[in-house]
Amino acid sequence: MRITIFGTGYVGLVTGACFAEVGNDVICVDVDAGKIDRLNAGEIPIYEPGLEAMVVRNHASGRLRFTTDAAEAVAHGEFQFIAVGTPPDEDGSADLRHVLAVADSIATSMQDYKIIVDKSTVPVGTADRVRETVRRRLADEGRAVDFSVVSNPEFLKEGAAVEDFMKPERVIVGCDDARARDALHDLYAPFNRNHDRLISMDVRSAELTKYAANAMLATKISFMNELANIADRVGADIERVRVGMGSDPRIGYHFIYPGAGYGGSCFPKDVQALARTANDVGYIPQLLEAVEEVNARQKHYVFKRIREHYADGLQGRCFALWGLAFKPNTDDMREAASRRLMESLWEAGAEVRAFDPKAMEETRRIYPGQPGLTLCDRPEATLEGADALVIMTEWNVFRSPDFDLIRDRLAAPVIFDGRNLFDPHALQQLGFHYYPIGRPV
């Protein structure tokens, strides 16, 4: 099948590569000419396991092409995917400018029936606005071309996005006409072999499902972080509580890990956008607001612990920091807890020596020439003479470090762990002051 994808960001690129991988003919289009040049040269702008090889392979075979030419791209595909960004507005609602601009350029160039598919995370009612935008453009130009608008939200996890696309847990298709629904069914058939993963529904329910899923996951995390804070105060161990709770299949073990707060490009933005949608229709989303507030407080947790430990202040102190990405297996630092921590440390006059397996480039980009920040090429190199080690991302390489070396290199044996990687008693025995989250030491 012929597919056009607008947007070569995270979602667009993974979607394009995976559709090409199963034999479709895909054109990805982006307004950023530099990015398109780099993609055509085989340079992938993000780190995502398996993506680079897949893009290069399909690009070489001609099934995956990159262009800035929207008219050529619209002419190509029966399916026109919209996978452009929806950054939050100042008031937290999703900014639909890019989505509607793409809808308009599809309308401007289309000559025959198109299925326009919203893949971007967009508020309820966006498909209607896309439809209106296309209709208006066609009417302005006095043309009649048939089209359908479908909501097909993505459920990709960074770090596992290719795998999630190739073996989806579900494919949500929100659609009000049978022709488009059948076409989407055929398009997703290669990913839908052993079990029927395709769930059809009306457009508005599909749009809401995406926000509902992310808001539920964010709620689980904030709930656990709140419990960790209670555990701290009553002398209970949140990790024991987690295992005890999770054994109930209605609760389950997934996504109940306490930590330094959730980050990334989705949860913070989507919880706010859903709250905004609720407010817009006259409903006060108390729970969603609390989820956000608890998370904001949790992102401050590790810094608070550090500040409490050093009674004489943080001026002139130096911290070794392991982990900058908002979670492992990605170089993404959007809304990462590490950023909040570093900024607080700098403000308090402390220095940071940091290492991350993938996010060093991104850190340089976000904090160019930042005083008080040194990036080290190995985790051990951060330690020499530092006042403490702080862990903010649970990369596997941090899970079993050489504790003797850590103790020898640090100026004092102190570890602040924002991800509960170690056993508090074992660390105590090794002579560390260990500060986990929600665990007695």
Q: Which residues are catalytic?
A: 266
Phi, psi at 343, each rounded to 5° = -65, -40
Distance CA 362, CA 332 (A): 7
Q: In terms of CB distance, is 71 or 212 closer to ligand UGA?
A: 212
Of 106, 95, 26, residue with least CA distance to 71: 106
Total residues at interface with ligand UGA (CB under 6 A): 20
Minimum Å gap between C-beta 264 and ligand UGA is 3
The window from 29-37, 253-261, 349-357, 373-381 that contacts ligand UGA (CB under 6 A) reads 253-261
The residue within the footprint of ligand UGA, chosen from 221, 273, 314, 386 (CB under 6 A), is: 221
SS3 286: helix
Of 206, 193, 63, residue with least CA distance to 124: 206
The binding track of 89-128 with respect to ligand UGA, each residue x by CB under 6 A or -, is --------------------------------x-------
The residue within the footprint of ligand UGA, chosen from 259, 357, 436, 438 (CB under 6 A), is: 259
Q: Give the up-direction half-sphere exposure of residue 134: CA atoms within 13 A in the CB hemisphere.
A: 25
Is 327 a residue that touches ligand UGA (CB under 6 A)?
yes
Q: In terms of CB distance, is 249 or 282 closer to ligand UGA?
A: 249
Q: How far is CA 122 from CA 74, 86, 190, 287, in A?
A: 21, 7, 26, 21
Distance CA 267, CA 252 (A): 20
The residue within the footprint of ligand UGA, chosen from 51, 82, 187, 256 (CB under 6 A), is: 256
Is 356 a residue that touches ligand UGA (CB under 6 A)?
no
Distance CA 244, CA 53 (A): 41
Minimum Å gap between C-beta 383 and ligand UGA is 24
The residue within the footprint of ligand UGA, chosen from 188, 191, 223, 255 (CB under 6 A), is: 255
Q: In terms of CB distance, is 432 or 435 closer to ligand UGA?
A: 435
Minimum Å gap between C-beta 174 and ligand UGA is 16
Residue 254 carries which DSSP code?
T
Strand partners, 4: 27, 80
Q: How far is CA 427 from CA 111, 309, 394, 423, 434, in A?
A: 67, 17, 17, 6, 7
The residue within the footprint of ligand UGA, chosen from 147, 262, 322, 434 (CB under 6 A), is: 262
Output the DSSP codes for 213-236: HHHHHHHHHHHHHHHHHHHHHHT-
The window from 108-116, 261-269, 281-289, 353-361 that contacts ligand UGA (CB under 6 A) reads 261-269
With both helix axes pointing from N to C terminus, report the angle between 33-40 and 51-60 in degrees, rounded to the nearest 10.
80
Is 267 a residue that touches ligand UGA (CB under 6 A)?
yes
Is 214 a residue that touches ligand UGA (CB under 6 A)?
yes
Phi, psi at 134, each rounded to 5° = -65, -45
The window from 106-114, 132-140, 250-258, 363-371 that contacts ligand UGA (CB under 6 A) reads 250-258
Q: In terms of CB distance, is 12 or 264 closer to ligand UGA?
A: 264
The residues binding ligand UGA (CB under 6 A) are 121, 154-158, 214, 217, 221, 255-257, 259, 262-264, 266-267, 326-327
